[in-house]
Amino acid sequence: MGKNVLILSGSPRKGGNSDLLCDEFMRGAQEKGNNVEKIRIAAKKVQPCSACY
């Protein structure tokens, strides 16, 4: 039974060096039987905390 692996790609460019390294890590982890999900942070809207309590 494999593990769940979450990859957060911080590369601002899709297909950039860091993004390609994430893809290679993902491929290797999948080959070992792990469940892998990659999220590109640049494609998400991330805002700071607004202290809404």
pTM, 2 dp: 0.77
Q: Note whether residue 27 is domain-resident.
A: yes
Q: Is the pLDDT of residue 1 over 80?
A: no
Say how many domains are in the chain: 1
CA distance 17 to 50: 33
- Render the burial of 24-37: b for 16+ CB within 10 Å, e for the rest: eebeebeeeeeebe
Q: Note whether residue 8 is domain-resident.
A: yes
- Convert the pLDDT of each residue in 8-49 to its tens digit: 998 888 889 999 999 999 999 999 999 999 999 989 887 888
What does each C-alpha distance from 35 to 2, 7, 45 come to in angstroms? 6, 11, 25
Domain that holds residue 27: 4-43
Q: 3-class DSSP state for residue 41? A: helix
Q: Note whether residue 49 is domain-resident.
A: no
Q: Note whether residue 52 is domain-resident.
A: no
Q: Note whether residue 50 is domain-resident.
A: no
